[in-house]
Structure 1
Amino acid sequence: MALQFTDADFQEAWRELDEPQLEGEWEIFTETTGVKIYRLYRKETGLYEYKVMATLSSCSPEQYADVYMDLAYRKQWDTYVKELHEKDCDGQKFIYWEVKYPFPLANRDYVYVRERRDLQVNGRKIWVVLARSSTVSQCPEKSGVIRVKDYKQSVAMEDDGAQGTKVFMNYFDNPGGNIPTWVINWAAKSGVPGFLKDMQDACIKYSNYCKNRK
């Protein structure tokens, strides 16, 4: 199986847990209770890359990592999921994900690889999940659905010292097509905090979900 992510990729993902690296033209985009979002304009695409700092209560970072990785469970709590499952292509595991977009916009779908590592770093325990888009011939594009071909996301989590979880997220995707600016801004400004809140609620209910699944 081809190496998808390196040790350096994982180190880059967690090193901003203490303080995000905001050199260059990063700017504060929005700040709500427990969530701060920065953005960087990428001239080559005309889109923004985002960095998110957040504190999530109620659950441990290991629990959040388990919820984040559980595709079957996400289909229950994430209302924007149209289709989500893992595929095995030539010995390599890929994830297919179709996202619902508001009418009249076309849905988007992703084919991506991901990896989770639970790291020990100078006495700290840090959970990291990396994901990025991949081209797979066994996952042809669907009629009426726009394939997102440029996507990356990294998430790093550790205990916040107060029975909660400190989170750093870095992400970018190019949804393609003609999407109104207000939709993109809403997705970043409201959608990201909303997703984190939904994941927090899902984490609280996860143990019962696992019991009922058995």
Structure 2
Amino acid sequence: MKVGEVALLEEKDFLDFKNECINDQGWTICYEKSSCRVATKKNSQSTFDVVRIQSDFHDISAELLYDVIHDGEYRSTWDTAMIEGYEICAVSHNSDIGYYSMKSPPPFKYRDLVTQRAWLDYGRNRDKIIINHSVNHLREPPRKNFVRAISYVTGYLIIPTGPSSCRFYYMTQSDPGGNLPAWLVNKASKTMVPQVIKKLAKASAKYDKWKAKNQPSYKPWLYPEQMNIGKFNQNDIGIFDAKEALIASANNDEETIQEHAVDVDNRIDLCPLQHDIMLLMSIGGVFQAIFFVAAFSFVYSITPARFKTGEKKGSNRISQILLGCITCIVGTCATIFFVLLQVRVYSNYKKIQWKDQTMPQFCLFTIFYSALGSIIGTYVAIILFCTVTIILLFGIGA
């Protein structure tokens, strides 16, 4: 298996990959905690180390994990680093060529890859292997504002250890291209890997429920007849020179970025917004909508009858008090949620260099508009809340 070369892998290629995963000779362990181990190894292929991850999953079967890794549509729901991913063409019944792009921690540029992937499933309760390496497909030339990374070899080995448990290996030797400083790659391999393993475990736990609603019988990695992408054409494969590709991608100032300028430990979601911000916006919005309706109804109910067109009789005092109490409770909830939202927005705002052009526009849009919305919503809610409370305390209809 050679970088740039499209080939039909033989069983020996898969077994060689497996042996590299399970053989500890020559590997240096750089992280080991709980059921997760990270090891590195040097070779002449690249200045970047080979990185191997080993983890035991006690409540995830080999078949389930194999499906989760293969399912590109599902990956877009849990892989927060992923920007885009799709298959370009089918090489054989167990091999394809695909495109994948990913985010990088600001202020580094995004990366993408074009790889040939091959897989071998020995059957239920038996080993499963997926391997890929970079190729040059003419339909996917290097994109503007992306750095083309190189996968010398990347793959997964899944070994069943029981009916609902397995041992998982991930091994890769990749060059991210550009001028990524060594400290970033070294630190990322040690600090981010455990987070990725946890995320993979969570994704596996939710897969069956998701798949039941999303083409449950569609699994082309198990049923080759379901592959509906174009066939491989050798004329679409260009010459691939790893050194030239790396030189072409090196024209940037990434190597000058200092370690203190990048928060690698917390970059797994990449967007500066935390997941709970959108949840707070939704919940706060619901409470605020209910609050506005209740506040309007309350103010209308205490308005003297002479100011109401066509209405001579005032509202019942008990109903006014009840409506006022409901308004106060909902108003309190709305105010709390919007204050929390505002705190979350600005706690993230301080961490980000907003002049960075690589920052996702979605994050910029959401940060500023959620901040603006939270400010307006908070103070409008506070004013209405205070008004209703004062009226309620100092006399209804006075």
Shorter chain as normaliser: what TM range? 0.7 to 0.9
SS of corresponding position for 1:30 = strand
| 2:85 maps to 1:84 | yes
Q: Distance in 2 between matches of 1:145 and 1:183?
A: 18
In structure 2, relative to structure 1, the CA distance for the partners of 1:44 and 1:3 (3 Å cut) is: closer
In structure 2, which of residues 93, 104, 109 is the aligned counterpart of residue 101 of structure 1?
104
Counterpart contact for 1:141–1:147, Cα < 8 Å: yes
- State the shift of 1:135 in Å: 1.1
Counterpart contact for 1:16–1:168, Cα < 8 Å: no
Give 4+ residue runs of structure 1 displaced > 4 Å after superposition.
Answer: 89-92
Same amino acid, percent of matched pairs: 23
Higher-Rg member (1/2): 2
In structure 2, relative to structure 1, the CA distance for the partners of 1:203 and 1:90 (3 Å cut) is: closer
- State the shift of 1:78 in Å: 0.4
Counterpart contact for 1:132–1:153, Cα < 8 Å: yes
Aligned to 1:139: 140
- State the shift of 1:143 in Å: 0.9
- State the shift of 1:115 in Å: 1.8
Return the TM-score normalized by structure 2. 0.49
- State the shift of 1:88 in Å: 2.1
Counterpart residue type for residue 10 of structure 2: T
Return the TM-score normalized by structure 1. 0.87
In structure 1, which of residues 3, 6, 11 is the aligned counterpart of residue 10 of structure 2?
6
Counterpart contact for 1:61–1:159, Cα < 8 Å: yes
Counterpart contact for 1:53–1:169, Cα < 8 Å: yes
For the aligned residue pairs, the C-alpha RMSD in angstroms reads 2.3
Counterpart residue type for residue 114 of structure 2: V
SS of corresponding position for 1:113 = strand
Counterpart contact for 1:84–1:98, Cα < 8 Å: yes
Which deviates more from structure 2 when the two are superposed, residues 33-42 or residues 133-142? 33-42
1:148-159 matched pairs, under 5 angstroms: 148-159=149-160
Q: Distance in 2 between matches of 1:90 and 1:115?
A: 9
More strand by share: 1
Counterpart residue type for residue 48 of structure 1: D
Counterpart residue type for residue 195 of structure 1: V
| 2:188 maps to 1:205 | no
1:1-214 matched pairs, under 5 angstroms: 3-15=7-19, 19-23=22-26, 26-42=27-43, 45-88=46-89, 93-119=96-122, 125-161=126-162, 163-214=164-215
- State the shift of 1:124 in Å: 6.7
Greater RCO structure (CA 8 Å; 6+ sep): 1
Q: Distance in 2 between matches of 1:68 and 1:90?
A: 19
- State the shift of 1:162 in Å: 7.2
Q: Distance in 2 between matches of 1:65 and 1:140?
A: 30
Runs of at least 5 residues in structure 2 that lack an aligned partner in the other structure = 1-5, 216-398
Counterpart residue type for residue 14 of structure 2: F
More helix by share: 2
Which deviates more from structure 2 when the two are superposed, residues 77-86 or residues 142-151? 142-151
- State the shift of 1:198 in Å: 0.9
Runs of at least 5 residues in structure 1 that lack an aligned partner in the other structure = none
Q: Distance in 1 between matches of 2:166 and 2:70?
A: 16
In structure 2, relative to structure 1, the CA distance for the partners of 1:89 and 1:211 (3 Å cut) is: closer
Q: Distance in 2 between matches of 1:150 and 1:13?
A: 14
Count of aligned residue pairs for this structure pair: 208
Q: Distance in 2 between matches of 1:31 and 1:113?
A: 31
SS of corresponding position for 1:125 = coil
Counterpart contact for 1:30–1:37, Cα < 8 Å: yes
- State the shift of 1:43 in Å: 5.4
